[in-house]
Amino acid sequence: MQIQGNTFIVTGGKKKVKAIQQAIDKFGENIRGVVNCGGIFTAGKIVDQNGKPLDLESFKFTINVNLVGTFNVCRLVAAQMIKQKPLEEGERGVIINISSIAYQDGQAGIISYSASKGGVASMTLPMTRDLSRFGIRAVTIAPGFFDTPLSSAAATDEKVTQKLINQIEYPGRFGKPDGEFNKLVIHLIDDAGTKLGKL
C-alpha cells in the first residue's frame, strides 16, 4: 500500500494502548489518519449440531479484539487529532474503520464475527456526530471477501473457497487488498470534502 507520509502499524492485544501512545509520541501533530483494519475470525454457531452452546469466552474474545480494540484506537487517536492545528479547510484528520458485509449478510457459523463487525459499523454515525465539530471525519468500509489471511481462515479448503466465490457477483473472485481496497482507503484519506459518516 502506497500512502505518502509516515505510517505506523499497531498490533498486539494488551500492548495496543502502549503502541498507540508510541505512535502519537512519534508523530506528534502529524497524525491525520488512522485505518482500523485489524480483526480476528472465530467460527462457531450459537448452538452446534450436538446442542452445545457457543463458548461465551470465545464470543467475548472476538468482540474484544474486533470491536473494543477498534473503539480503543479511535478514542485515543481522536483525542490527539483534536489537539492538532486544522488544515486549510478545517480538517484535522480522518478515522477509517473496517467492518464487513457479514454484519448485514452473515453466514451460518460466524455469529461472533458478524456481531463484532456490526458493532464497528454502528459506531460510524455517532462517532461522526461526536467528532465532526472538531473537523474529524469518520467513515466505515464494509468489504466482502478479500484475498487476505482472514479469508483464508474462513475458507478452510478449495471446496469451501469455491463455494464462497460462487456467491460473488462479477468479477467472481475475492477482492484484492493491494488493488480495490487500497485505492478506496487512499481516496477516503485524500478526499477532505467527502461526506461525513459514510458506510
* Residues assigned a catalytic role: 113
What secondary structure, in 3-state letters, does 49-102 show? CCCCECCHHHHHHHHHHHHHHHHHHHHHHHHHHHHCCCCCCCCCEEEEEECCCH
Sorted by sequence, the CB contacts under 8 Å of residue 11 that are 6+ apart come out as: 19, 38
Instruction: Give CA angle at 131 (128, 137), nearest 5°.
Output: 60
Among residues 122, 116, 92, 100, the alpha carbon closest in space to that of 44 is found at 116
The CA radius of gyration of the chain, in Å to the nearest whole number, is: 18
Among residues 15, 5, 9, 1, the alpha carbon closest in space to that of 38 is found at 9
Helical residues (DSSP H) of the chain, grouped into ranges: 16-27, 56-63, 69-83, 102-105, 111-122, 124-131, 149-154, 158-166, 182-190
